Structure 1
Amino acid sequence: MASSWSLLSEEQFLCSICLDVFNDPVSTPCGHNYCKACITHYWDVSDVYQCPVCKERFNKRPDLRVNTTLRELVEEFNMSMRWKKGYHAKPGEVCCDVCIGTKLKALKSCLVCLASYCETHLEPHQRVAALKKHKLIDPVENLEDRMCQKHDKLFELFCRTDQTCVCLMCVNTDHQAHVAVPIEEESRKRKAKMAVMMAEMNQMIKIRSRNVVEIQHSLEISRKDAHENIFDCRKAFTTLLRTIERSQAEVIEKIKEKQKAAEKKAEGFIKDLEQEITELQKKSSKLEKLSNTEDHLHLLQSFPSLSTPEHIKDWSEISVHSDVNKGILETAVSQLMKSLNEEMETFLENTTRLVQRYEVDVTLDPDTAHPKLILSEDGKQVKHGNLWNKLPDRGSNKQRFNRSLIVLGKQGFSSGRFYYEVQVEGKTKWDLGVARETVNRMSTVTLNPVDGYWTLLSLRNQNEYTANAGPGVSISLRQKPQKVGLFVDCAKGLVSFYDVEARSHIYSYTGCTFKGKLYPLFNPCLNDGGENSVPLIICPVTSYTF
């Protein structure tokens, strides 16, 4: 189509009054063409009827009729120009149902005509009064899908009972007793619901985006810590290996020195023995010769000198092996263990300095405390009292534990690492750990990870402890902890308990799944008539020697 109009220019189809492409072109008696509206308005405001181009006057106002031939040419020209300008339908776009040959892109679809129109072919719907009443929408494909196949009517209603679009005939037949509303009404309702869903999704996106940032931050910290830990590990083990190698070299050198001394000593022994052997061989030869003589007088005169004992050593107790390495290995191993212990202590001190970076200031939250718990004014101590405290709105406060003697810390943690210490000295029973923010506080608490608790429980008057891992894990310690350190790594799912003063690890929960925030948990347990009245005390971290 574009090639057939290549020799025509836009100027040939312009109205000389509005200087735009003809719209309903009409011809004057003199042969010039104008838009019908343009020439009509021109003569309405003029005293004479003349042609605006050639100025030919007419005795009376000419009757104007649309030049159908020119109008068709203009329409074809417009279609050609739109095709050139890219108005032709591309793959995936709705095509005009009226265009012949190359299809132009549809501008609107008519739900009455069940057809889609380009800008040119849409013009009658914008001009003809009857067509103006038709419902136009943005162009869509498969308009037949908007028709009821059974009644060949347009879908105008939505059946809420069957959750499907129906026509007016359907409401009077198959859906007569159902709840049906106009499609526009149901669409508005769905849009309102969609708006709520989009708001919720946007909120979820924000939360998850924030979680991504937090995880990335935690991962970056984890990478940094891993790098530092690897460096410290290599440094510590390199030092240990050097200590072992040095000790090995010292032991080998000592063994070599003792062996050298033993060899020198043995050489002296051998020289003396060989000399004695030579002397004994000489005497034996003389005795043999004397024993064969027939000169009895000579035998009697010579025998005394041969029978006189010479200085002969007792070699039965002499050894060069039994004490060569005696005690060297035992002494070396003992010294090595001492050196290794010193190096390990240095390593642990260096390692625990990493924990210091994660120290947090924990304060007890009175809004979560069971009514029988007594908290200090500074929020650092908690113990059990016999009387219920008078608290406002105790029954309606869902933050408060009303069945278990528990109080949480004010500070919650959802990422990163944190560490704090609690003094338990003098107590016979206590419970420490962390809990999810979402745990149920209005009923009896089951302390296990399934319900959102990771805790360590001491057993009354014993050195036995239980990690409430569900089932519980029994732990025996050599001595009662006086101060317990608790370290949490949210990214790794790690909760660890330490005996601070004994510099030892008690127990760790690993591979935990944390959802939401974690809060420090404290349970001083019943005071048992005063035997367990000492409070749990959140104390500042002054040393890192576990």
Structure 2
Amino acid sequence: MAATSCVLFEEQFLCCICLDVFTDPVTIPCGHNFCKSCITQNWNVNSVPYQCPMCKKKYKTQPELQVNTFISEMAAEFRQSLEKRGSESSQVAKSGEVPCDVCTGAKLKALKSCFTCLASYCGIHLHPHMTADALKRHLLTDPVENMEGKVCMKHKQALKLFCRTDQMCVCQLCRVLEHAAHDIAFVKDEVQAKKTELEETEATMKQMIQDRELKIQQIKWLKVHGREDAEREIADGVRIFTIVIQTAEKGLNELIEKIEERQKLAEEQADGLIQELEQEISALTKRVSDMQQLLHTEDHLDFLQSFANVNTALCTKNWREVSLSLPSYEGTVVEAVAELDEMLIREKRHLLYDAKLKRVQHYAVDVILEPYTANPWLVLSDDGKQVRCGEVRSNLPDNTQRFSLYINVLARESFSAGRCYYEVQVTGKTDWTLGVVNESVNRNGIIPISPVNGYWALGLRNGNEYLILSSPVVTLSLISRLCRVGVFLSYEDGLVSFYDVDAAVHLYSFTDCCFTEKLFPFFSPGLSHGGMNSAPLIISPVNDTD
């Protein structure tokens, strides 16, 4: 049968009891047709037995059910036509799609859900809702799962409203009855509001994730550099203690040499006295022998003649007045230890300062000046490594990055994590300022240079006043003029330190700083003062020889 014919006559093939296409259609005496099972079940449960559901005609006995062959054939053909159309327009429900609640076997994809029936229907089983007058009044919607959760179980109406007071979905009757004085909104509007809230929460959480990922990167960075710091610290310790041990060994050797020299002189003096005494003993022994020989001479004449030749004079050295003093070593070791201690103190101070400077020099970075931030009075070198104050103000375009009042310029490089170090030559200048600054610092106004306003800086004023620009300002007492200044930043530690590179001396540190944004190295060569301060600040290469 053609599709058009099916549409024209489809109501003729629907059972008025089940509202579906006839199955085993039968005719009762009044001429109305029903499914055999439908009319039989109706008569079994109806309080008025043997009544036609359509015309209400009653029978005293159960009428004979006559098979309507024509209707049966037409209904079968019509069912096949519906199934063919349904199979062409329907698909088996996939994962995540709502299946038809009526299909047996393979569940087809539902096209609509009915809030009245609390069921979902595919194209085949949705047909009665499109044709039967009783079913046309049902509330259909796009396919949804869990139909029971979409309908008010008390009033059997769709949950189209949301009670913000009780935080629950309600129907129209709920609004009038139980939630009359409550804050009510359409589900659609509430969903939009909740989605907006979720989007904001999602954005916040994504930011939290980014913050935590950044923190992980920072911790990993600290872990790696912590290991490097430990290795360098061990190397510095070995180097320093090696020097200390060598110095101590040198002092010990000098002490031993000094004591041995004294002992040698004493022994040489003793040997000289012994030799002299032995010579005198030998001479005296010979004279005693001569005297004994003379004493045994019996010839008086010979005795007297020989006596004149015998030296009886006792012209010898008075050895009782001669004494040998042993060298005194008292205080020698103490003096040597004191000298060693003094020398070690000097060496320690030098080594520690030198080691500390070398430690931060490991974090040297290449710093280049950014022309877009430079005050119009400043003159930058082509390589971005030098800056001085000129005699003429340049005609430069205004931008939010440029310093308009302070004679400042920033570096291109910024730092929001980790450590960095750079050195600046300040030779021949009477006025300058160096340090780091917050990205958001006021670049168009005059504000005190201090940590409160985003500056961590060291400066020279009047040619001989070295100042730490904090609140209040701290004056540094230096033995000699600075020629090269080292600047060290440790972002996580909240530390900004300054060094006299040539003397390897730590000058000052800002500690316990709370950095919350990007930091830039900044440079101010100061005003020219008629050429007295015309020398440039020079970013010099770091000479880390360790």
TM-score range, shorter chain: 0.5 to 0.7
Partner of 1:473: 474
For residues 34 and 164 of structure 2, the distance between their equivalents in structure 1, rounded to whole angstroms, comes to 63
380-389 or 333-342, which moves further after superposition? Answer: 333-342
Q: Contact 1:435 / 1:519 at 8 angstroms: preserved in 2? A: yes
Q: Is residue 69 of structure 2 the alignment partner of residue 65 of structure 1?
A: no
Q: Structure 2 residue aligned with 1:398, among 384, 387, 400?
A: 400
For residues 441 and 163 of structure 1, the distance between their equivalents in structure 2, rounded to whole angstroms, comes to 51
For residues 215 and 353 of structure 2, the distance between their equivalents in structure 1, rounded to whole angstroms, comes to 33
Partner of 1:454: 456
In structure 1, the residue corresponding to 2:36 is in which secondary structure? coil
In structure 2, the residue corresponding to 1:223 is in which secondary structure? helix
In structure 1, the residue corresponding to 2:522 is in which secondary structure? strand
Partner of 2:222: 218
Partner of 1:230: 234
Q: Contact 1:258 / 1:325 at 8 angstroms: preserved in 2? A: no
Partner of 1:371: 376
How far the C-alpha of 1:413 sits from its partner, in A, is 1.6
Q: How does 1:267-278 map to 2 (within 5 A)?
A: none
Q: Structure 1 residue aligned with 2:366, among 355, 361, 364?
A: 361
Q: Structure 2 residue aligned with 1:380, among 385, 393, 397?
A: 385
How far the C-alpha of 1:421 sits from its partner, in A, is 1.3
Partner of 1:532: 533
Partner of 1:423: 425
For residues 140 and 491 of structure 1, the distance between their equivalents in structure 2, rounded to whole angstroms, comes to 56
Q: Contact 1:36 / 1:64 at 8 angstroms: preserved in 2? A: no
For residues 350 and 497 of structure 1, the distance between their equivalents in structure 2, rounded to whole angstroms, comes to 15
For residues 66 and 390 of structure 1, the distance between their equivalents in structure 2, rounded to whole angstroms, comes to 102
In structure 1, the residue corresponding to 2:516 is in which secondary structure? coil
Partner of 1:54: none
Q: Which runs of 5+ in 1 are unaligned?
A: 1-34, 50-59, 70-109, 273-307
TM-aligned CA distance change 1:336 to 1:189, over 3 Å: closer
How far the C-alpha of 1:490 sits from its partner, in A, is 2.3
For residues 370 and 407 of structure 1, the distance between their equivalents in structure 2, rounded to whole angstroms, comes to 6
Q: Contact 1:159 / 1:179 at 8 angstroms: preserved in 2? A: yes
Partner of 1:444: 446
Q: Contact 1:497 / 1:508 at 8 angstroms: preserved in 2? A: yes
For residues 67 and 408 of structure 1, the distance between their equivalents in structure 2, rounded to whole angstroms, comes to 97
Counterpart of 2:542, as a letter, is V
TM-aligned CA distance change 1:233 to 1:389, over 3 Å: same
For residues 351 and 310 of structure 1, the distance between their equivalents in structure 2, rounded to whole angstroms, comes to 69
Partner of 1:187: 191
For residues 186 and 143 of structure 2, the distance between their equivalents in structure 1, rounded to whole angstroms, comes to 17
Partner of 2:54: none
How far the C-alpha of 1:522 sits from its partner, in A, is 0.6
178-187 or 188-197, which moves further after superposition? Answer: 178-187
Q: Contact 2:150 / 2:159 at 8 angstroms: preserved in 1? A: no
How far the C-alpha of 1:455 sits from its partner, in A, is 0.8
Counterpart of 2:446, as a letter, is T
TM-aligned CA distance change 1:36 to 1:179, over 3 Å: closer
Deviations 1:111-143 (A, max 9, x none): 999xx9999xxx99x989466469997769999
Partner of 1:493: 494
How far the C-alpha of 1:433 sits from its partner, in A, is 0.4
TM-aligned CA distance change 1:141 to 1:64, over 3 Å: closer
Q: Structure 2 residue aligned with 1:198, among 176, 198, 202?
A: 202
Deviations 1:48-70 (A, max 9, x none): x9xxxxxxxxxx9862228989x
Partner of 2:508: 507
Q: Is residue 526 of structure 2 the alignment partner of residue 521 of structure 1?
A: no
Deviations 1:247-301 (A, max 9, x none): 34753675487579879989999xx9xxxxxxxxxxxxxxxxxxxxxxxxxxxxx
Partner of 1:97: none
Partner of 1:389: 394
For residues 225 and 440 of structure 1, the distance between their equivalents in structure 2, rounded to whole angstroms, comes to 36
Q: Contact 2:375 / 2:403 at 8 angstroms: preserved in 1? A: yes
Deviations 1:286-334 (A, max 9, x none): xxxxxxxxxxxxxxxxxxxxxx99936447x98546x545777656755
For residues 224 and 261 of structure 1, the distance between their equivalents in structure 2, rounded to whole angstroms, comes to 55
How far the C-alpha of 1:37 sits from its partner, in A, is 6.2
- Which of the two has higher C-alpha Rg? 2
In structure 2, the residue corresponding to 1:532 is in which secondary structure? coil
For residues 68 and 471 of structure 1, the distance between their equivalents in structure 2, rounded to whole angstroms, comes to 101
Q: Which runs of 5+ in 2 are unaligned?
A: 1-17, 27-32, 43-112, 277-314
How far the C-alpha of 1:469 sits from its partner, in A, is 3.1
TM-aligned CA distance change 1:229 to 1:137, over 3 Å: same
In structure 2, the residue corresponding to 1:538 is in which secondary structure? strand
Q: Structure 2 residue aligned with 1:247, among 248, 251, 260?
A: 251
Counterpart of 1:400, as a letter, is R
How far the C-alpha of 1:226 sits from its partner, in A, is 1.9
TM-aligned CA distance change 1:486 to 1:171, over 3 Å: same
For residues 164 and 119 of structure 2, the distance between their equivalents in structure 1, rounded to whole angstroms, comes to 33
Q: Contact 2:22 / 2:34 at 8 angstroms: preserved in 1? A: no
Counterpart of 1:251, as a letter, is L
In structure 1, the residue corresponding to 2:37 is in which secondary structure? coil
Partner of 2:318: 311
Q: Contact 1:214 / 1:415 at 8 angstroms: preserved in 2? A: yes
530-539 or 474-483, which moves further after superposition? Answer: 530-539
Q: Contact 1:219 / 1:491 at 8 angstroms: preserved in 2? A: no
TM-aligned CA distance change 1:191 to 1:217, over 3 Å: same
For residues 247 and 261 of structure 2, the distance between their equivalents in structure 1, rounded to whole angstroms, comes to 21
For residues 402 and 359 of structure 1, the distance between their equivalents in structure 2, rounded to whole angstroms, comes to 30
Partner of 1:302: none
Counterpart of 2:386, as a letter, is Q
How far the C-alpha of 1:186 sits from its partner, in A, is 3.5
For residues 533 and 233 of structure 1, the distance between their equivalents in structure 2, rounded to whole angstroms, comes to 43
How far the C-alpha of 1:533 sits from its partner, in A, is 2.0
How far the C-alpha of 1:214 sits from its partner, in A, is 3.2
Deviations 1:184-206 (A, max 9, x none): 22431331343244235324422
What is the percentage of aligned positions where both structures have the same residue?
A: 37
Between Structure 1 and Structure 2, how many residues are aligned? 412
Q: How does 1:249-328 map to 2 (within 5 A)?
A: 251=255, 254-255=258-259, 258=262, 311=318, 313-314=320-321, 320=326, 324=329
How far the C-alpha of 1:384 sits from its partner, in A, is 2.4
How far the C-alpha of 1:391 sits from its partner, in A, is 2.0
TM-aligned CA distance change 1:254 to 1:185, over 3 Å: same
Partner of 1:7: none
Q: How does 1:84-233 map to 2 (within 5 A)?
A: 129=135, 132=139, 182-233=186-237
For residues 269 and 40 of structure 2, the distance between their equivalents in structure 1, rounded to whole angstroms, comes to 139
Q: Contact 2:22 / 2:35 at 8 angstroms: preserved in 1? A: no
For residues 538 and 147 of structure 1, the distance between their equivalents in structure 2, rounded to whole angstroms, comes to 79
TM-aligned CA distance change 1:235 to 1:141, over 3 Å: farther
Counterpart of 1:208, as a letter, is R
For residues 361 and 388 of structure 1, the distance between their equivalents in structure 2, rounded to whole angstroms, comes to 28
325-334 or 258-267, which moves further after superposition? Answer: 258-267
TM-aligned CA distance change 1:492 to 1:172, over 3 Å: same
